[in-house]
Structure 1
């Protein structure tokens, strides 16, 4: 029997009168990387916001680790073991790295500030620098680090490679793979399609608020016509 960290069924989400998601359903298997792909404006970020309670769906159901979280506020969803790395990083610019890392509530587990510094030596080197003084890659590392301090069982990332140099992108994706290898479930929204498919186990494609593909990442990676139809597809095949 397959165990799922997250299941969403028939989500319909609106911004005011604008109907953004039209019956979106997806699943994230425990201990696997699931990627959600699609063109800009397809509804990917709205899907994530609906899953974590920031923009609740008007219709549909969300289940996380067997619990119905459809109408729960975000902080109670986080307490179930869900880490969320939003698009744009959302770190505190006037706080130092170390102060940013002290913001999340303590949860028992492997991830502490010390183990974060082992994972991200660059953050340790610059721990007294303020958020606004960091490069884009350093800000992304800090954003992921804050989510890991919740010791999540499910990590949700929204566009982690956005605006980063290629070498930093590789580093970020290697970290995502490492999370999966440690048993964490990952839901990844990403514009770099080929890179996502290299690391993911399962893939969904969202088109105009509807799921247009649901299958293995390997299957999608071999569908060149569909790949070419996705915005942001890279001609270079990325290798770990």
Structure 2
């Protein structure tokens, strides 16, 4: 199967601090790949490197066959990549409808009307300001804005963070549906149980390096290993 994204031996720094130490991973087309790890392991830095926000000093990133290692973020997005950063970052003073009209439209199946079908709650709140939404509604809106770019690859950073369990289930249902739509997904997640439940493949980061790469099912079946590698339970 072809890879939507590959990263080879990425070394990323913040100033003099060496954060990523030779990170390599791949996201197969039409699959969900989970990137797990403890707080401070380097997960968000990995995504920022892939998106060109904190470029690697060494290594290579390839997205849909193009070497994007030195590309600016806007060009990576234009190449078919949707990015949902940690913290949601919606426009607090704009309504739901206005937030959805911010992304530049790309041709494809995802329209505002279809977003409202996927997220009925957003349709109900479409006149509400971003600051009036719950955390779960803000996460839905953040994912919705990325989908309106009609991406081939969707990168999500901690979509379950701070959400109630029922809302987490709803968000992960949507992420699973993205795979059904043929979208490749790279999911960074601290909730090891939920991440492994929906992912096809998993990587675990620890101290800026990959310490596990393999089947998400195999990792989920080894409870002690999940605890050791991610500091979390697969049965939570």
SS at match of 2:177: helix
Question: Which runs of structure 2 are paired with 1:1-240 in the superposition (5 Å)?
Answer: 2-229=1-228, 230-233=230-233, 235-236=235-236
Query: What TM-score, normalized by structure 2, do the two folds share?
Result: 0.98
Query: What TM-score, normalized by structure 1, do the two folds share?
Result: 0.96
* Cα separation, 1, equivalents of 2:197 and 2:81: 24
Contact preservation (8 Å) 1:11, 1:60: yes
SS at match of 2:45: helix
RMSD: 0.8
* Cα separation, 1, equivalents of 2:134 and 2:80: 29
Cα deviation for residue 233 of structure 1 reads: 2.9
* Cα separation, 2, equivalents of 1:155 and 1:232: 24
SS at match of 2:25: strand
* Cα separation, 2, equivalents of 1:33 and 1:92: 28
- Detail structure 1 runs of 4+ shifted over 6 Å in the superposition: none
Q: Which runs of 5+ in 2 are unaligned?
A: none
Contact preservation (8 Å) 2:156, 2:186: yes
* Cα separation, 2, equivalents of 1:78 and 1:123: 24
